[in-house]
Amino acid sequence: MKRFIQLLILVILGTFCAQRVVAQISPGELTRAHQHLEGISNCIQCHESGKEISGAKCLACHTEIREAIASKHGFHFANSSNTCLTCHKEHLGKEAKITKFSEAQFDHVKSGFPLNGKHGSLKCEQCHNDKSIKVAAVQKVLSGYPHKTYLGLDPRCISCHTDRHKGKTGAECQSCHGTNAWSPAAAFNHEKTKFALVGKHKTVECAKCHEEARKKGPTDPILFTTKTFADCTPCHANPHGAKFSDKSCRSCHTPEGWKIVVSFNHSTTKFPLTGKHAAVTCEKCHTAMAGKRGQNIDFKTKEFGDCTPCHSSPHRMALQDKQCRSCHTTSSWGSRSLVPFDHSLTKFNLVGKHVTVECEKCHKPVNNSTFARRFFLSHRLCTDCHTDYHEGQFSKKYANDCAQCHTEQTFKPSTFTLTKHAEAKFPLMGAHVAVPCNDCHIKNGATKPTFHFASTRCETCHSDKHKGEFAKFMAELSCGRCHSSQDWKIVSFDHVATRFPLIGKHLGVRCVECHKEQVVRGTKVFLYQGSPLECQSCHTDVHAGQFTQGSVTKCAPCHSPNGWHALVFNHDGQSAFRLTGAHKNVACRNCHKEEPIGAKKIVRYKPLSLKCESCHKEGK
C-alpha cells in the first residue's frame, strides 16, 4: 500500500511538470479556425525560429489575402506594409475572435472603397454577405470553413447594380453617375456625343429626345436611341409653312432661342437694316412673330416707302413736302444729314462719351450771346467743364489732368493701373490686389474718397487682433513680421525661435489648440506669449500621478512628440526590473493590470512587486 501511494505521487508530479512545460511553450489554445495546427510539432507552421511571426507564413495558407494584395485592391493591399499581428491575435482560446475589428469604428476609406453618397447610409450586411462575394479564392475558403467575412467583394458598380444600359455604354458607371443618386447622371458629358447640347437644348429633359427613357420602371432597360438630327424638323414643327422650304432652320435660328434670329441677312430683302433699325426687334415690324408658337409666320410688313408708316412726324405741316430722310438718318433722330458737322475739324475732337453729348450741353444757348461766345469754348483742362471730384488731391502731382486716371469713355472705372500703383508709396501685392479701391480709399463722412495717407503701415487700415501683445516686435515690419499680404491666415512665424520648437505630432496641431482665446480687458483675444511649456498644461495625465515628481509630470522619458504610442521607454534602463528570458515576450498588460481609482480605471505601472510569486502563482 505504501509503495502504491509513492507511485501515485510520482505520476501526479509527472503530469503536473508536463503541463508546466507545455504552458511554457504554448501561451494558449488556438482558435477554432486554427485547431488543425494545435500541437508542439505544428508551431513552425506559423512561427519562425528566433523571429516574430511574419506575414509571409500567414499568406502561404491565406491565398485569398495573397491574391487581394497581388491584385492591388482592398484593405489588405492598402495596409500590406503592416504585419498580420497588427490586427490578428492567436492563442486566446478556442472561442476567441482572431480578428480585432469593430464595424462601428472602421474607417472604410482604408479599404480603398470610400463610402460616398448613398453608400454611407447602407448597413454593412447589405453589401458584405455571402451572395455578394465574387472572388473565387474567398468562396473556396468559405466552403471549407463557413464564417462571417468582409472579403471577396468586387468594387465595380455592376457587381451590385443592374446595368440598365445592357452594356451599350460600357461598365464604368461612375463616368456618368454619382453615388448620391442614379438620376440625374450629373457626370455625363453630352459634348462627347454626336449631338453636343448648346443653348436651349441644355435645359431639355433627357426623355424629351430619348423617348424610351420616359415612364420606365426602376429595372427597365434604357438604351438612349434618338431621332435623326440632320435638321431640326424631326423634333420641331416649321411655323413658316413652305415659305423657307429651301433653307434649313439654322440659316436664321440658333439653339439659344427660337426668337433669337442672328444669322438672317436682312440686306437680301427690299429693306436693308441700317442704323437704329438694326437694333429693333423683329416683332416690331413682323407682328405675326408675336403670335403663339405653331402659327404660320409669313413676315408680311407695313409699307415702307417712307418712315411715316412706323414713325409719326413731330413737324406736322411745316415740312410735309419733305421726306424724313431729307434731314435725318437711321443712325439717330438728332443726326441731321443736311448738316453733317465734323467736330474733328475743331481743336476738340469728340470721342467716347463726348460723342453722345447733346450739342446744347456745351454750346448753351444764352440770350444775346454771340456765335463766338457760344461755340468757341476753352477746353485746355477737364476742369474747364467738369468739377474737380477729388477736391485738389491730385493738383500737385498731375496738375488736375484727369486723363492720367480717366478717359472720355467713362469716369468709372479708373485707368489707374496696378503698374501705376506700384510707383506709389504702397505697391499692391498679394490679397491687396483683389481689394476694391473703395475699401481703402473710403469716404469720410460727406467728403470725397481719400487717396493720400499719412502712413502705409498695416494698422492704418487693419485693427490689431493681438491687442498690443506683439507691439515691440512690430516696430520694424508691422504685421508683416508674421503675416503675409497673400492671406492673413498664411503665417510665416517660425516656432523654432520660441522656447517650444514644434516637432512630431505638434506640427499638425492648430495654433488655437494651445493658444486659447481669453478675455483681456473685456475683449476676447488669443494669447501667444507666456503659454506654459509642460505637457500637463495641454494633456491629461492618464497615469493618475504615478509618474508625477513634485507638481510636474514629465512625459518625455517614456513618450515622444511623434505619437502617444511612439514609446521611448527602456524597461532595462528605466525600471528596476530588467526583461530577460521569456519575460521579453510577455505582453505589457500581463503584468501591468488595470485597477480602479475612483470612477476611473488606470493601468498600474508602479509601484509593483519584483518578486516572482507576485505574478507566478504555484500551479499556474
Dihedral over Cα of 275, 281, 282, 288: its sign? negative
Q: Which residue has the cell 448738316?
A: 339
Retrieve residue 425's grid coordinates. 508709396
Cα separation, 147 vs 95, in Å, equals: 13
Q: Amino acid identity, residue 271? A: F
Taking every pair of Cα atoms in the chain, the longest distance, rounded to a whole number of angstroms, is: 160
Task: Please give the helix or strand (H or E) that residue 253 lies within, else none.
Answer: strand 253-254
**Across the strands, what pairs with 491?**
483
- CA-to-CA separations, 214 to 207, 519, 528, in angstroms, rounded: 5, 63, 64
Span 545-604, pLDDT tens digits: 888 888 888 888 889 888 888 888 888 888 888 989 899 899 888 889 888 887 889 999
Other Cβ atoms less than 10 A from the Cβ of 77: the count is: 15
Secondary structure of 319-341 as H, E, C letters: HCCCCHHHCECCCCCCCECCCCC
Q: Which position has the higher pLDDT, 283 or 11?
A: 283
**Across the strands, what pairs with 401?**
none
CA 85 to chain centre: 37
Span 232-291, pLDDT tens digits: 888 888 777 777 777 788 888 888 887 777 777 888 788 888 888 888 887 788 777 766
Residue 460's closest CA among 442, 436, 472, 447? 442
Dihedral over Cα of 146, 148, 151, 154: its sign? positive
Task: Please give the helix or strand (H or E) that residue 561 lies within, else none.
Answer: none
> Could you tell me where the DSSP H helices lie in 171-270?
206-209
Is residue 14 predicted with pLDDT exceeding 50? no
pTM of the entire predicted model: 0.38
Span 161-172, pLDDT tens digits: 888 888 778 778
Question: Beta 600-603 vs 594-597: how paired, if at all?
Answer: antiparallel
Q: What angle do CA 463, 466, 468 make, to 5 degrees?
A: 90
Q: Which residue has the cell 443653348?
A: 199
Other Cβ atoms less than 10 A from the Cβ of 144: the count is: 6
Q: Lowest mean pLDDT: which of 137-151, 164-178, 285-299, 511-525?
A: 285-299
Q: Amino acid identity, residue 248? A: S
Cα separation, 324 vs 306, in Å, equals: 7
Span 57-109, pLDDT tens digits: 888 888 888 888 888 888 888 887 778 888 888 888 988 888 888 888 888 88
Retrieve residue 517's grid coordinates. 482665446
The SS3 call for residue 134 is: coil
